[in-house]
Structure 1
């Protein structure tokens, strides 16, 4: 459409005044104003109407849910963040999950088989004119396409999340005409970059796909006041962004190697960034999809449905009544 319009010119055409058409327009306006019943008039334009399901299908939407407890189900597809050193097998582990779409930033896709979209700058030439579509714009276009739900993907993996954040920074630098966040003054640059990045991540999260982040790790040595030194391990991304991202997933875990074996750390450690909403029974497992799913199920074995809870409460009430009679 853009290419077609570029070769066209705006032409100004004089239209003769027609009093009949003007009167007809005002007549229609009066009819609309005085009308009390509007009959349905389906057309091809209905395909683009956000109220199509309501108008044609009779679907209604409540602002408030029914006052009824929901069943808690075992979650085998939690949103997660996995990080590790290079060559541990982060991407290969995630690649084992079915119906997965990789959003890759580093070009390392030789060891994975899932469909992939490369998040990188796209450079095109029109004659001598160079045009660059920034990587962040590519990512936003992917989200827009996923919003259509015209696909069979169930999971979306961002590999690597820190690279995506850097792409967002560069995009905002260009948009704001600055070379660094500090150039915007009074923390404005940092805030605008963070808002742009997290808003896009929330858009992706709201689509209903299982979302997986992949990161590389960094080790930092900290010297305490007493002279002792400790090593902290965390994802290679801004700490404030990391804390917010951790809140958008159900589980943050670290993969590592011990000799020739690869493991996934499940237990919480104050010196290692991670945690989650699951009470795992084992401190670590092998970096294997099946073992991971088994560990998830074992961690949620105490989950009860709303019906189970209601039965339990009824039994407890009956016991209390019997005791009070005695």
Structure 2
């Protein structure tokens, strides 16, 4: 049971778990549709313009059934996309309420219903994340007022309830915020480019545990994949060179 050697960093994108979030219609689903052998677990309409493998998910039981079939491995999919994880969480809440025959999660007493929902939600996401496939969770974004010791400021975050959002952001390897970057053109007029932001900021949630990505990258999957793979290849070459170089021994200092 206990390991005999250290695990190596995951080299491929379809070994990782990512949260992709941003405003509606910015291109999140389109970006995810280019992931390798992607299967969409579609919890809401919105894929009509895309040619993708889609499993409609209308309730939590549907999601559990899809997860069971994915875990069996009798398919060619390499990336699982939950679009959106926000709706999946609401389905989980409905499932728990129905199971305990209550109208609302607060009916089970202080905090108990919410804890049951979050536990079930985390259980299923963890199971998916441990499977040998990439996992991408899509969410929308909204602005929240954040209280700090220095005052109040606005921060853009995924549209999940606080505890569910913390579960998701703690689980994933990548938090990718889809946004519009504004520059001024030669004529003085603003030019907008759709981008992904990958590094933490006081103004939005983002993060990259791999350390491979630039702070901002165009919202274009081939460009993203090229940057991700180039950095991985460069790290591998650097490690190989370091391993092959002979160790140097410092000469002992002599006293004058």
Is residue 262 of structure 1 aligned with residue 190 of structure 2?
no
CA distance in 2, matches of 1:291, 1:97: 12
Given candidates 167, 172, 179, the residue that maps to 1:244 is 167
Counterpart of 1:216 in structure 2 is 140
Counterpart of 1:319 in structure 2 is 249
CA distance in 1, matches of 2:215, 2:179: 13
Counterpart of 1:138 in structure 2 is 62
Given candidates 23, 27, 31, the residue that maps to 1:85 is 23
- 1:203 is displaced (CA, Å) by 1.6
- 1:188 is displaced (CA, Å) by 1.6
- 1:111 is displaced (CA, Å) by 2.1
Contact 1:95 1:114 in 2 (8 A): yes
Is residue 231 of structure 1 aligned with residue 154 of structure 2?
yes
CA distance in 1, matches of 2:21, 2:10: 27
Counterpart of 1:302 in structure 2 is 235
What's the TM-score once normalised by structure 2's chain length? 0.85
Counterpart of 1:157 in structure 2 is 81
Given candidates 4, 13, 19, the residue that maps to 1:76 is 13
Counterpart of 2:43 in structure 1 is 105
Counterpart of 1:52 in structure 2 is none
Distance 1:270 1:303, change over 3 A: farther
Is residue 117 of structure 1 aligned with residue 45 of structure 2?
no
Is residue 147 of structure 1 aligned with residue 71 of structure 2?
yes
CA distance in 1, matches of 2:71, 2:80: 12
Distance 1:160 1:310, change over 3 A: same
Counterpart of 1:169 in structure 2 is 93
Distance 1:119 1:223, change over 3 A: same
Unaligned segments of structure 1, at least 5 residues: 1-62, 121-134
**1:79-103 CA-partner distances (Å, limit 9, x unpaired):** 2110010110100111112310000
Q: Name the structure where strand makes up a greater proportion of residues.
A: 2
Is residue 200 of structure 1 aligned with residue 128 of structure 2?
no
> How many residue pairs are counted as aligned between the two chains?
243
Contact 1:80 1:213 in 2 (8 A): yes
What's the TM-score once normalised by structure 1's chain length? 0.68
Counterpart of 1:19 in structure 2 is none
Contact 2:13 2:134 in 1 (8 A): no
Distance 1:224 1:240, change over 3 A: closer
CA distance in 1, matches of 2:208, 2:170: 9
CA distance in 2, matches of 1:137, 1:73: 31
Unaligned segments of structure 2, at least 5 residues: 182-190
